[in-house]
Amino acid sequence: MKREPGMHYNTKTLNKVFAFISIIFFIGVLWMFLDDYIRPWKAIQIKSLEIERQALNESIAKENEGIDQEQLELLKQKIDAAQELIENRSTEVASIEKELNLVDKNIYAQNMTNGIHGSKSGEYQFQYEHYHMHGEANKAKEYKVKMEDAKQKFADGKDLLKTLQEQQNEINARLKVITETKSKTEKELNELIGKKERLLVAADKTKMSPIWFLRNSPFIDYLDPTVKIHQIVPEHLTEDRYFVQTPKVDRCITCHTFIDKKGFENQENPYKTHPRLDELAVGRNSAHPMKKFGCTTCHGGEGHRVFDFSAPAHMPQNAKQEKEWKEKYNWHEPHKIAEPMLPLNYTEASCVKCHTGSERIHMAEKLNKGRKLLENYGCYGCHKADGWEHLKKPGPSLTKINSKTSLEFMKNWIWSPHTFNPNSRMPAFFGQSNNKDPKHMVKNITEVNAMAEYIHAKSKTSKAFATYQPGNAENGKNLIQTVGCISCHGVEGIDEPYNKVNSLKGPYLTGTGSKVDPNWLVSWLIKPSHYQEDTIMPSFRLSTQEANDIATYLLGLKNKKFETMKFESINKKIRDDILIGDYFSQFVPIATATKKLDKLSDLERTMELGRLSIGKYGCYSCHDIEGFSADRPPIGPEWNGIGTKFVHQFGFGQQHQIPHRRDAWISAHLKNPRMWDIGVPKPFKDLNRMPNFYLNNEEIEAMTTTMLGFVKQYIPMAGKKNPTANEGFALEGMKVANKYNCYGCHKIDGLGGDILKAYEDDLNAGPPWLVDQGHRVNPLWFQNFLKNVSPIRPYMEVRMPSFNFQEGEVDKLVTYFNASAHKSNFVNSPSIVWESGEKEAAQKMWNAFACTSCHTTGFNNEEAQAPNLHLASKRLRKSWIKKWLTSPIAIQPYSPMPDFWEGGKNPAGEYDESLKGLLGDDPQRQINAMVKYVLSLGKVKESIKNIEASSIEVKETNNTEEVKVEENLPKEETNEEGEK
C-alpha cells in the first residue's frame, strides 16, 4: 500500500491496533475487578446461608408437626365466615370507612398546621428573649406579641387535634363492632402458626433470589450487599499500633458466622457455635459478651484481617493441625506479626491480662493448674514476676540444716535430687545435656562439694526439743492418711483412695528415713515453726504419741541405694583452677589471681568456691542461706512480658526442630532448659544454668499457658476488669488462702479441694466446701477460730490444722471471705423475737425432724454426725442459717442434712402428721421459727450439762418475747448488718 504524504503509518492499521489493545485493556480491567471481587470469605458466607436454611427448614418441619391441622382448618373456616358477615354489611362498612378517611386527612392537615405554629412560636420566643436580654425593649415587645399569638394558635390547634382524634376513635369503635370476630380469630390463628410463619420468613431470607444476586453482583455490591464483612468494634478496647492506640476492630464474625448463635454446636469450623456460650464468652448474657469484648481480646491475632485464612494469624495447636491447615487452607506462618493468635490450647493465657492479681480464675482450669505448678515448683523463686512478690522462697531454709540432715546426704541430693525422690521439686542442675561430659562433670563435682561444705559450715545449731521414740508405724500411716497431711504431701506407700490426691504443695515424702534426723522429725511434726519461723507447714495439734507414730512410719521409708552412695571428695587442683580461671582472673591477669589464691587457706578456698557457686547456680533464690542477703536479686530473668516478648528475642540456639513461636520456645525450655546449649561452644562458666524439673507434657502445656499470660499490653482502664475495693480485698485474701493451701482441703466457691479426691465416696467425711463462707460465719468468730482452731465437727478424722499465720494474714483471710460473699465485716448479735405460738411450733419441728440424732453434741451421748449446734449463734450468721435450712443441697450438694422444705413444700406429710397446719402451713414461717430456735441454743451452751433439749429457758410474755443471745461481741461492733 502506498503511504500517504506526511504519514509513517497507515491510519486504518493504527485504528485496528488501537481497537485490539483497547480490548486487551478492557479485559485487563475486568480481570482486576474480578480479582478484587472474589474473596474466600464470600464462599464461607454463602455456605453458611445453606447451613442456616437447612437448620431453619428442620425447625419448620418440627414446628409443622406440632400444628393441629383440624384446628387450623376450623380457624380458617371461622375467618371465612367472619369475612362473609363483614361483606354482608359492605355498604355500612364503606360509609364508615369514608368518614374515617376524612377524619384521617383532617388529622394529618392539623398536624401540619400545628407544626408551623409550633416552630414559629419557637422562633419568636428566641427573638423576644434575644432583644430582651440586649435591652431592646421595643423589639422585645413586638416579638412578645408575635410569640403569644403563635403560642395561642398552637394551643388552639392542639385542642382541635384532640377533637379530631376523639372522632377517629369513635369511628374506629363502630368499625370494630363489625370486624371484631374476624380479628380475634386471626389472633388465635397467629398463636397457632405464628412461629412457623416467622421461621418461614427467616428461611425465605436465606434464599438466593435474583434480587440477592443483584445486590451481591460486582460493581453494584457497594450499595447494599448481603454478603459483606461484618465487624465488632468493642468499646474501650484498643489495638496496639506502637505509635498509636487504634480502636479494636474484629471481623472474625465475617467467617465465624454462627459463633453467637445456639444450635450450630455440631457444625465444622468456622460455622461452629462458641463453646460455653452462655457462661463464659460471646453470648449476650455471658461474662464476656461478644459485642463488648470482641474476639481477639482473648484469642489474639489480627482481628481486622479477612483476606484469607492465614491473614488473621490463625495458629495451629500442634503439628497435625498445622499439616491439616496447610492442605486445607494453604496456611502459612504469619509474617512478622508480633502477637499472632494463641493456639486454642493456650487461649486461657489471655484471662490474666485483665484479671491481674487474681491467683485463681474461675473457668480457667488449665491456667489455674499451670499457676499452681509454677508455684509448687517454685519457678517464681528465680524468676521475678509482678504479682508474685508476696510468696515466700519455695525451698526450705538451710540456715539450720545440720540439725535436719547430714553433709553426705546434701552432696548426693544436690548432685541428683531425682535419684533420691522421683517427685523431687528440687530440680536437677547436673548431669544435664550441656554438662554431662566428663570434662564438665569433674568441675561440677568440685562445685557441689564446695557448696555443701559451705552450707554445712554456715549452718547454725538448732536442737530438736523432742526425742524420737519408736511408735506404731501402722497407726502413723493411718494418721498421715486421715488427719490431712495428704492435702499437701504425696506420701509413699499410702493406700487407696488417699494416694489419689498426690499433692505436691509440700515435698513428696519418700526415703525420709534415709534423709532426716529422727528427733528433728518428731519436733518438726509437733511444731514446725521451731525449725523455720516462717514455714507454711501447719501444726495438726498432734500428741507426742501421734507424732512419734507418724515419724515411725516416715522413718521406715528408706532409700537404701542412696544411703550407700558415697560422694566423690573434692579435687583441690580443679577447685583452685575454677577459682582462678572463672572468678579471680575476671579483671586481673592470671598471675595476680594466683597470688590472691595463694593467700587463702585450704578451707577458705573451699568456702570461697562454695559461696561463689551458690551465687552462680542461684541456690539462694529458693533457699535461705547464711551469707546471702534477702535483697540479693534472684538468679533468673524476669517473666514479665514473656507472653508478648518478640519471638526473635528468644534464643533458639541450634534447635531448628523447634518452631519459632513463643509457646514452642517456652514448652521446649520447660522440657529441657539446657537444649539451647547443644552444639554451641561455650566456656564452662557460661553454660546455661536453668535446672531441669523433669516435667511431663501435660504439666508443660499448663505451665506454658500460664507463662503466656505474662504480657505487657496496654489495656485502657475502661476496657478491663478493675476490681472494686471489695474485690481488691478478696484478691489480697486469696493470696493468703493460696499461700497456706486452704484450697488443698476446701473447695472454696468452686475452686480447689484437692484432698476431696480421697473422699469421693463420702464427701461429707472430708473437709467441708466453703460456699459463701463470708456469709455463713460471723467474722469475729472466724477470726478467733483461725487464730485458735478448735474442732467444729468432732466426728471427722481430718483436722483443720493450726497455721503459723504471719502478721495481718488472718485479717486478710476473713476479709477475703466476707468480700467475696459481699458481706460486711460487722455483724449484729441476732435478736430473737418469738411470735405467738412460734416457739412451740419450733419445738415440735425440732422433735419431728430429730435434729439431735445427728447434731448430738450437748444433747445426748451418741456420736455426733453434724456440727455442734450450740456454737451456731456465735458461729453462724442468721440469714445464712435460714438459707441453709431452705435448701442445704443448694449449698453443699453432698450434705446428709435433709432438705426439709424441698422445693418450698410443706414437710408435714413426710415427717409427722402432727406438723399439719403448723404456722399456717407456711414454709417461710416454719423456717424462721427454726432459725430462731437454733440461735436460741447459744445461750444454753453456758450451762450445757444441765439442759435437756426440750426445756429451753426463755422468758415468755403473752404475745412476744425477746431474748438477746449473749455474745462476746463488744458493744461498738454491733452495728447493723441490714439483714432484716
**Interacting residues toward other proteins by CB under 8 A:** 6-9, 11, 14, 17-18, 21-22, 24-25, 28-29, 31-32, 35, 241-243, 335-338, 646, 648
Burial 795-827 (b: 16+ CB within 10 A, else e): ebebbbbbbbbeeebbbbbbbbbbbbbebebbb
The secondary structure element, H or E, covering residue 752 is: strand 751-752
- CA distance readout (Å), 252 to 64, 246, 249, 259, 291: 35, 18, 9, 9, 12
Nearer to other proteins, 24 or 43 (CB): 24
Given a contact cutoff of 8 angstroms between Cβ atoms, the answer to whether 376 and 391 are in contact is: no
Closest approach of other proteins to the CB of residue 39, in Å: 13
Closest approach of other proteins to the CB of residue 35, in Å: 5
Closest approach of other proteins to the CB of residue 347, in Å: 22
- Sign for the pseudo-dihedral over CA of 399, 401, 403, 404: positive
Give the cell for residue 367.
491456667
Nearer to other proteins, 36 or 268 (CB): 36
Nearer to other proteins, 188 or 638 (CB): 638
Nearer to other proteins, 31 or 213 (CB): 31
Residue 396 CA to residue 394 CA, distance in Å, equals 7
Nearer to other proteins, 245 or 317 (CB): 245
Nearer to other proteins, 17 or 889 (CB): 17
Closest approach of other proteins to the CB of residue 254, in Å: 19
Nearer to other proteins, 243 or 587 (CB): 243
Nearer to other proteins, 22 or 592 (CB): 22
Closest approach of other proteins to the CB of residue 239, in Å: 9
Nearer to other proteins, 335 or 566 (CB): 335
3-state secondary structure of 437: coil
Closest approach of other proteins to the CB of residue 682, in Å: 16
Closest approach of other proteins to the CB of residue 6, in Å: 5
Given a contact cutoff of 8 angstroms between Cβ atoms, the answer to whether 885 and 931 are in contact is: yes
Closest approach of other proteins to the CB of residue 213, in Å: 25
Nearer to other proteins, 21 or 588 (CB): 21
Closest approach of other proteins to the CB of residue 198, in Å: 45
Residue 255 CA to residue 8 CA, distance in Å, equals 59
Closest approach of other proteins to the CB of residue 242, in Å: 5
Closest approach of other proteins to the CB of residue 7, in Å: 6
Closest approach of other proteins to the CB of residue 11, in Å: 6
Closest approach of other proteins to the CB of residue 646, in Å: 6
What's the CA angle centered on 314, arms 308 and 317, to 5 degrees? 140
Nearer to other proteins, 369 or 662 (CB): 662
Closest approach of other proteins to the CB of residue 656, in Å: 11
Closest approach of other proteins to the CB of residue 645, in Å: 10
In this structure, the dihedral spanned by the alpha carbons of residues 233, 237, 239 and 243, taken in order and rounded to 10 degrees, is 130
φ/ψ of residue 963, rounded to 5: -125, 120
In this structure, the dihedral spanned by the alpha carbons of residues 792, 793, 794 and 796, taken in order and rounded to 10 degrees, is -140
Residue 794 CA to residue 895 CA, distance in Å, equals 16
- CA distance readout (Å), 518 to 420, 465, 509: 18, 11, 14
Nearer to other proteins, 24 or 137 (CB): 24
Closest approach of other proteins to the CB of residue 387, in Å: 24
Residue 283 CA to residue 291 CA, distance in Å, equals 9
Residue 878 CA to residue 827 CA, distance in Å, equals 10
3-state secondary structure of 361: coil
The secondary structure element, H or E, covering residue 18 is: helix 11-37
3-state secondary structure of 833: strand
Residue 831 CA to residue 826 CA, distance in Å, equals 15
Nearer to other proteins, 14 or 61 (CB): 14
Q: Which residues pair with 232 in a beta bridge?
A: 250
3-state secondary structure of 292: helix
Closest approach of other proteins to the CB of residue 305, in Å: 10
Nearer to other proteins, 338 or 385 (CB): 338
Residue 83 CA to residue 186 CA, distance in Å, equals 11
Question: Do β-strands 747-748 and 751-752 pair in parallel, antiparallel, or remain unpaired?
Answer: antiparallel
Closest approach of other proteins to the CB of residue 681, in Å: 14
Report the amino acid identity of residue 517. D
Nearer to other proteins, 17 or 850 (CB): 17
Residue 382 CA to residue 769 CA, distance in Å, equals 34
Is the N-terminal amide bond of 218 cis, ω within 30° of 0?
no
Considering only CA atoms, which of 877, 935, 885, 891 is closest in space to residue 907?
Answer: 885
Q: Which residues pair with 770 in a beta bridge?
A: 748
Question: Do β-strands 288-289 and 281-282 pair in parallel, antiparallel, or remain unpaired?
Answer: parallel
Given a contact cutoff of 8 angstroms between Cβ atoms, the answer to whether 397 and 488 are in contact is: no
Residue 285 CA to residue 308 CA, distance in Å, equals 31
Nearer to other proteins, 22 or 914 (CB): 22
Nearer to other proteins, 128 or 309 (CB): 309
Residue 478 CA to residue 472 CA, distance in Å, equals 10
Report the amino acid identity of residue 219. F
What's the CA angle centered on 557, arms 554 and 560, to 5 degrees? 145
DSSP 8-state secondary structure symbol assigned to residue 954: -
Residues 6+ apart with CB under 8 A from 854: 864, 865, 866, 896, 897
Nearer to other proteins, 178 or 311 (CB): 311
Report the amino acid identity of residue 719. G
Give the cell for residue 336.
512478622
Residue 25 CA to residue 583 CA, distance in Å, equals 76
